[in-house]
Homo-oligomer: A and B are copies of this chain.
């Protein structure tokens, strides 16, 4: 078997955890398997590096921030390789350049575009366990770029695809994917199997935050993904395209990293929305929920959500383009949170929406935005009501499932 394993920062936070992960890697290698391992930075390393940068320059260049952040994963791979050596096995660390991971140009949130795994294959042939830096790639300017939060998941899946691996194991500090975050919703249950599309919608569900792009890639290349604990041997959650026996609802997801921006008084003519999203896309701003109100007096309003770290930049871009976009004024709110219900049955079973909104209503919580897809219903509410709402919705939905 050819196995790609990925360990997140919480699974590498101290020497004991590093040796624990090293043992998992060696166990995989021992059964005559080829093993390539992708690592994140240890524990809070990335946050600490960001803090150091911001102390020196509160508006850091994205390029230089990437240079700084990428050192976290390089340290991880060197220390892990030393741990594996200590346990008596051959291993070698490779950075993104040596591993041949190439990305598009935008700093801070780059997208893997190509992998040339020649050196990895050479090292595998020498019977080395290969330890690769996650979260980073080389762009066409020959600069290191990072892949955004959770990007190591994507590094692992992309490598699994390029290496034609049999399985990609995502190790973390919980037992798998849950129907909701157990820290918020005590009744949350572990999911044994889930398909790519549901997992995509659930990308930020439970205690496991998976990088959406990693699920997209897994689906595209049909990579068997397993999310499991680095601390025990429980089988975890299998993410695949097998026709898994679907539970009606796969989960309730909470996202607090949400800000909403509304453009008020856009002129109600064709092309305005296109112009708006062209401007945002050009500036690499990722938007999530979008709602367009029905126009009144020949104008309309558009609201959309962005991750909070992009709020200032997005507002700045919108203000610079006010004449071009022809809106009257702009309002925003960064005290909101998003609650989503995800599952293959959402579109086909109106009972689900009913039970969801009933839960919210019973708690007396006001809904600010609603957005739906084939397998998801998302609502935006006040951040300080999100735990209460999530528990109410999750408990109501449990009733449907049983």
Interface residues of A in 79-105 (CB under 8 A from B): 79, 81-83, 85-86, 92-93, 95, 97-98
**A10 → chain B closest CB, angstroms:** 18
Contact yes or no, A78 B65, CB < 8 A: yes
Chain B positions within 8 Å of A52 at CB level: 79
Contact yes or no, B98 A142, CB < 8 A: yes
Chain B positions within 8 Å of A86 at CB level: 56-57
Chain B positions within 8 Å of A81 at CB level: 61, 64, 67
Contact yes or no, A53 B74, CB < 8 A: no
Q: How far is the CA of A49 from the CA of B82 in the complex (A)?
A: 13
Interface of A is mostly: helix
Chain B positions within 8 Å of A334 at CB level: none
Interface residues of A in 128-184 (CB under 8 A from B): 142-144
Is A71 an interface residue, CB under 8 A from the partner? yes
Q: Which of A61, A64, A65, A77 has the most CB of B within 10 A?
A: A64
Q: How far is the CA of A142 from the CA of B116 in the complex (A)?
A: 15
Is A63 an interface residue, CB under 8 A from the partner? yes
Chain B positions within 8 Å of A77 at CB level: 67
Contact yes or no, B67 A74, CB < 8 A: yes
Q: How far is the CA of A82 from the CA of B50 in the complex (A)?
A: 12
Interface string of A283-314 (1 = CB under 8 A from B): 00000000000000000000000000000000
Across the interface, name the chain B residue whose C-beta is closest to A67: B78
A residues at B contact (CB < 8 Å) = 15, 18-19, 49, 52-53, 55-57, 60-61, 63-65, 67-68, 70-71, 74-75, 77-79, 81-83, 85-86, 92-93, 95, 97-98, 119, 142-144
What are the 10 closest A-B residue pairs judged by CB atoms, nearest first?
A: A68-B78, A57-B82, A71-B71, A67-B78, A57-B86, A64-B81, A64-B78, A56-B82, A71-B74, A60-B82
Q: With A53-B79, A56-B82, A68-B75 given, name 14 new contacts (CB 8 A).
A: A56-B83, A57-B85, A60-B85, A61-B81, A64-B85, A64-B93, A65-B78, A65-B82, A67-B78, A67-B95, A68-B82, A71-B71, A74-B74, A97-B142
